[in-house]
């Protein structure tokens, strides 16, 4: 379902195709309708920073997108992108058009969601992205609260790396992202960072080695086989900085992007591993390992990121408050 509409916004007075047509040259007729397909191509390329990446999302060839962008620029009478090396960077006019496009597509998605929510036979769809570095058990504890929403709710959960999820958020395909990092300043996505909570790290080993390693922790980690998370997680950098500070140098024998695989290797006795302390009880029970020590000098922080929209998704506030309560109730 596609919508072409005119919307009033307080911060911009009038958001409609006429404002975008102000970018045109004076000699072009003002009666021609803005092509929203062209606007979608531009918006996706601007969000992705690459025609090739945008083509994968839109399922069209890069040549098609390049051609349509040229038509759109000719129609508006402005240059939308500057090329810096292999990357496309928005021009000043491009940034102006992008700002309007964000509102147009966000409100279009909200209109469809609003219409679906009025249909008693249609479940209320809640699209959540979970960064692949978030512990699965923590995600489950947070996401299960979405079923407290009134009426029928359908949870659609997508897992991926942080950048890929941000792209989906920019395209209004997600209502919320759970992550271990915030949206950085300068990112061309209007969204809110919600702080959920923080905790230290717990360290685990198999039962045979746990007793000896527990004594003298954290010095007992020195030169002992260690399983560490991959580069996608903020934990790796913070953990290595703590090792340097304490002059502890474990023997890193394996690195994992998949946290579940890391735990299974730890369960098999291949080395020490760590997780956020908030899931300590679950890890010990699920994987049959023992806690050998904890530190609060390495802090894991968790966030929810939601898009800036005119109409707030009711599930966003519910999950943010539920997650904050989970951390508040946790006996640190």
C-alpha distances (whole Å) from 290 to each of 92, 227, 266 are: 57, 15, 11
What's the chain's average pLDDT?
84
| β strands within the chain, DSSP E | 7-9, 13-15, 81-84, 87-90, 124-131, 153-160, 176-179, 191-205, 225-229, 251-256, 273-276, 290-307
CATH class of 115-197+302-329: alpha beta
Nearest in space to 105 (alpha carbons), one of 256, 208, 221, 2: 2
Cβ neighbours for 177, distance < 8 A, ≥ 6 positions apart: 128, 129, 130, 131, 162, 165, 166, 169, 304, 305, 306
Chain-centroid distance of CA 291 in Å reads 30
Whether 7-108 shares its CATH topology with 115-197+302-329 is answered no
- Residue 25's pLDDT is 42
| pLDDT score, position 292 | 97
Q: How many whole angstroms separate alpha carbon 213 and alpha carbon 217?
A: 6
In the chain, what percentage of residues exceed pLDDT 90?
Answer: 44
> Are 251 and 220 contacting, i.e. CB atoms less than 8 angstroms apart?
no
Site of tokens 């991959």: 230
The C-alpha atoms of residue 143 and residue 165 are separated, in whole angstroms, by: 17
Residue 314: pLDDT band (50, 70, 90) is confident
With cut-offs at 50, 70 and 90, classify the pLDDT of residue 118. low
Residue 268 CB partners (closer than 8 Å, separation 6+): none
Structure tokens at 92: 């000043």
Lowest mean pLDDT among 65-69, 135-139, 312-316: 312-316
Report the distance separating Cα 140 and Cα 160, nearest Å. Answer: 16
Predicted confidence (pLDDT) at residue 142 exceeds the cutoff of 90: yes
Q: How confident is the model at residue 32 (pLDDT cuts 50, 70, 90)?
A: low
> What value, to the nearest 5°, has the Cα angle with vertex 255 and ends 252 and 259?
125
According to the CATH classification, is domain 199-299 in 3.40.190.10? yes
**Cα separation, 105 vs 40, whole angstroms:** 8
pLDDT confidence tier of residue 325, bands split at 50, 70 and 90: very high
Domain locations in the chain? 7-108, 115-197+302-329, 199-299
- pLDDT of 18 > 50? The answer is no
The answer, yes or no, to whether residue 65 has pLDDT greater than 80, is yes
Instruction: Find residue 229's DSSP bridge partners.
Output: 256
2 contact partners, CB below 8 Å, separation of at least 6: 36
* Model confidence at 317: pLDDT above 50: yes
Mean pLDDT in residue range 108-130 = 71
Question: What is 94-129 written as a DSSP string?
Answer: HHHHHHHHHHHHHHHHHHHHHHHHH-TTS-EEEEEE
Answer yes or no: is pLDDT of 86 > 80.
no
| Residues facing 130 on adjacent strands | 159, 178
HSE, CB side, 13 Å, CA atoms: give it for residue 86.
Answer: 3
pLDDT at 30 over 60: no
pLDDT at 106 over 80: no
Do you know the residue count of the chain? 332
CATH number for region 7-108: 1.10.10.10
253: confidence class by pLDDT, cuts 50, 70, 90: very high
pLDDT at 21 over 50: no
Nearest-CA neighbor of 205 among 299, 283, 298? 283
Pairing of strands 176-179, 191-205: unpaired
More confident residue, 247 or 53: 247
pTM of this structure: 0.68
Each residue of 44-60: pLDDT tens digit?
888 888 888 888 888 88
Q: Mean pLDDT lowest for which of 45-59, 85-99, 302-316?
A: 302-316
């Amino acid at each position: 379902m596609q919508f072409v509409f005119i919307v009033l916004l307080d911060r911009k007075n009038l958001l409609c195709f006429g404002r975008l047509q102000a970018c045109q040259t004076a000699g072009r007729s003002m009666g021609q309708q803005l092509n929203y397909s062209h606007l979608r191509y531009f918006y996706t390329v601007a969000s992705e920073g690459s025609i090739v990446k945008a083509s994968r999302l839109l399922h069209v060839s890069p040549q098609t997108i390049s051609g349509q962008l040229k038509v759109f620029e000719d129609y508006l009478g402005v240059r939308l992108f500057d090329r810096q090396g292999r990357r496309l960077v928005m021009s000043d006019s491009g940034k102006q058009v992008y700002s309007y496009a964000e509102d147009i597509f966000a409100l279009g998605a909200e209109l469809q969601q609003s219409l679906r929510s009025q249909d008693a036979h249609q479940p209320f769809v809640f699209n959540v992205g979970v960064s692949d570095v978030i512990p699965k058990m923590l995600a489950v504890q947070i996401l299960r609260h979405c079923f407290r929403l009134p009426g029928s709710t359908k949870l659609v959960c997508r897992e991926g790396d942080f950048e890929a999820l941000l792209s989906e958020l920019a395209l209004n395909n997600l209502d919320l992202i759970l992550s271990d990092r915030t949206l950085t300043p300068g990112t061309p996505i209007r969204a809110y960072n919600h702080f959920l909570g923080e905790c230290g790290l717990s360290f685990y080993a198999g039962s045979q080695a746990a007793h000896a390693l527990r004594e003298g922790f954290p010095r007992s980690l020195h030169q002992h086989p260690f399983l560490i998370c991959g580069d996608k997680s903020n934990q790796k950098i913070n953990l290595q900085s703590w090792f340097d500070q304490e002059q502890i140098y474990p023997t890193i024998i394996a690195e994992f992007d998949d946290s579940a695989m890391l735990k299974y290797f730890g369960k098999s006795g291949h080395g020490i591993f760590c997780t956020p302390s908030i899931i300590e009880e679950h890890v010990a029970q699920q994987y049959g390992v023992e806690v050998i020590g904890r530190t609060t000098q390495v802090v894991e922080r968790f966030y929810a990121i939601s898009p800036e929209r005119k109409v707030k998704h009711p599930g966003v506030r519910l999950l943010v408050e539920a997650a904050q309560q989970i951390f508040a109730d946790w006996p640190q």
